[in-house]
Amino acid sequence: MSANIVKLLHASDVQLDCPLRQVGTVPRDTIDLLASATLIAWERLIDAAIAHGVDALLLTGNTFDAAAESLAADVALRQGFERLLEREIPVFVVPGQLDPLMAWQEFPAMPENVTVFDSPWDAAVDLTDSGRLLARIFPVSAVTDISPPEWHRLQGTVQGLRDANAVTVGILWCDRTEGISRPIDTDERRLASVQVLACGQNVPESALPLIDGLVHAQTAPQAVTADETGPRGATILQFDSQRQLSKRFVPLGPVRREHLTARLEQARHRDELCEQMLAMIEELPAVPGEQLRLVRWSFAGSPAVRHQLDFQEATAHELLETLAGLTDQPTGLRYVHELVPLWQEQSVPPELGELWRDYLEYYDERPPLNEDELRQLALELRPQQAASSGPWERGLAQLDPTAVHQRARRYARKWFAGH
């Protein structure tokens, strides 16, 4: 650790041992990697903290999923913290949606280098090196205020130059089960005077306080959902001697997710389309540590081009099989190619456009069905099965009526474009 440099490694939404979602069908020999992707990312996070000699590790929520009750998450978390303890690297944790404070409190005693903030009003923790104050770590929420250093100087609470040059870092309190459980209006938001506020990427604006520094919203070290495309990792927040912040991305995720769209107009035949897709794959920047790429493919093109190429669902699958054969390396970087249903990208033929518009018009006129109405619908369509309670009720209970409504709206394209 250099004399005047402060390095903090910020990770968020680690989601230890959370299975990757929307993966689709994958080869059997990739399941182990997919299943342990978040654990591998966590191990790499610890390795990175040690290798870069950071002053502290900040975990800003959703470190694990308490509902999953995962043993592997427990083990990985503890082992990681213990490794950091050996290197005397402190860890600062705020709970999140998935890992509420109660879940942290249920853990057996954590290693002494781990600080789990209990509430957004917890006192700041000083990060020191040989008695020299490097940084002050604050738990922060939209309604907790942190006075500027000038105020403390006026109040005489700053202990001379020793504190004056310390970095003030806020960690956003994300646990909705504790503290703030309702949306905060803009005028209720307080001022938190920190040089940087570390939080997860999916935090809404309303959850942030007003700050005079920078907000660093960190993505997950391993992409869990299909929308999280591109390289994933953590960030080293480095303050130089002038307390200027610079950021350095550290790639961690072994599984990378991508969504690519091939343009049918740019291909005269299927071989050219395959070459185009291969070029798109090769243009993806390589990131160290990648072991598997999950690529979802869409095919954009007018009905005329689709007709010209005789581009059907089976054609697309054949293309993806060919592409997998060209890209997948069983002993190297693995590739899994998945097809987004063609109808999602297809345009409705002009002769059916009127019907399509009618459908959308009628559909938008009707209000979304609530759970009871959906139950009634099931009773009408499946009177025998729905007469008795069964798994269908559980399925219904887990459904989001809004999602059903939106999906049914999207199906307009399925019926009229996918014809």
Partner 1 sequence: MRIDAIEIERFGAWRGFAQTLHPEGLSVIYGPNEAGKTTLLRFIRGVLYGFPSGDAGPGRRTRNSDPMSGSLRVRHRDQSYHVHRTSRGDDAGLVSISGLDIGESPYRVLEGVLSGTDEKLFESVFAVGLPELQEFATLTEDEVARHLYGMTLGPQGQLLMELPRRIERELERTWPKDGHRGLVGELQEKQREFGQQLQGLRPQRERYRTLVRQRNDLDRRISGIKHHVVDLQRQLRGHQFLAKVHPAWTRVRDLRRELAAIPDLRSFPTDGLGRLDRLEADRDAAMRTRDDLHGELREIHKQLQANIQDDSIRRFAGSIRSLSEQRSQWVEAEQHMLELERKAAEHDRELQAAVTRIGPKWTLSRLEAMVDTPEGHGRFVNAATQFQQVRWRTQRRQRKYRKISNLCRDRELALRTELMHLGVDGDSLEQPLNIAKQRLAQLTELGHLQLKAGELRQRAQSIDEQIERMRERLGLPDWVWVMLAFFVLAGIGLFVAGLSASVSTGWLVGLIYMVLAITAGGTTWALKVQFEHEMQDQVAGLREQRNRYDSQRYDIERRIFELIETHGLREVQRNPQAPLDATDGKLISLAADRLAQLELAQRDLQRILDTRKKLSIVRGNLQGYQREFAAARKMWCDTLKSLGYDEVVDVPVAFAQWQAVTQARETRRRGADARRELRGLREDWDRYCQKVSDLGQRMRLGNLDYSKPFAVLERWEGELRAWIHSRQEYRRLLKERKARRVEVEDFQKRVDQLQQQVAALLQQANATDRADLERKLQLFQRRQQVVQLLEQGQRDLESIAKSEPELAIVDEDLSRFHEESNSEAIRRISRDSAGAEHQLEELFEELGTVKQEVKALTTDRQASRVRFEAQQTQERWHDAWEDWYATAVSAETLDTVCAVFEQAHQPEMLAAAIPFLESLTLGKYHRLWTQLGRRQLFVDEENGTPRSAHQLSGGTREQLFLAIRLAMVKAFARQGVELPMVLDDVTVNFDQERSEAAVKTLMDFVQDGQQVLVFTSHLHFAQMFQQHGVEPIWLPARERAENPTMWEERLAG
Q: Please give the residue ranges that form the binding site for partner 1 (CB under 8 A).
A: 17, 19-23, 31-32, 34-36, 39, 68-72, 74-75, 78-79, 106-109, 349, 351-352, 354-355, 358-359, 362-363, 366, 369, 374, 377-378, 381-382, 384-385, 391-392, 395-396, 398-399, 403-405, 407-408, 410-412, 415-416, 419
Q: How far is the CB of 141 from partner 1 (least distance, A)?
A: 29
Rounded Cα gap, residues 45 and 51, in angstroms: 10
Q: How far is the CB of 401 from partner 1 (least distance, A)?
A: 8
Rounded Cα gap, residues 58 and 12, in angstroms: 8
Rounded Cα gap, residues 329 and 324, in angstroms: 9
* 279 vs 397 by CB, closer to partner 1: 397
* 71 vs 314 by CB, closer to partner 1: 71
* 181 vs 398 by CB, closer to partner 1: 398
* 23 vs 197 by CB, closer to partner 1: 23
The answer to whether 332 touches 297, Cβ cutoff 8 Å, is no
Name the nearest CA neighbour of 221 among 99, 43, 95, 81.
Answer: 43
* 28 vs 182 by CB, closer to partner 1: 28
Q: How far is the CB of 85 from partner 1 (least distance, A)?
A: 13
Q: Of how many residues is the chain composed?
A: 419
- Count of Cβ atoms closer than 10 Å to residue 415 Cβ: 14
Q: How far is the CB of 312 from partner 1 (least distance, A)?
A: 16
* 305 vs 396 by CB, closer to partner 1: 396
Q: How far is the CB of 49 from partner 1 (least distance, A)?
A: 20
Q: How far is the CB of 107 from partner 1 (least distance, A)?
A: 7
Task: Say which residue the tokens 């999280």 belong to.
Answer: 228
Rounded Cα gap, residues 160 and 153, in angstroms: 8
The answer to whether 335 touches 327, Cβ cutoff 8 Å, is yes
Write out the H or E segment, with its range, that includes residue 220. none
Which are the contacts of 75, defined by CB distance < 8 A and separation ≥ 6? none
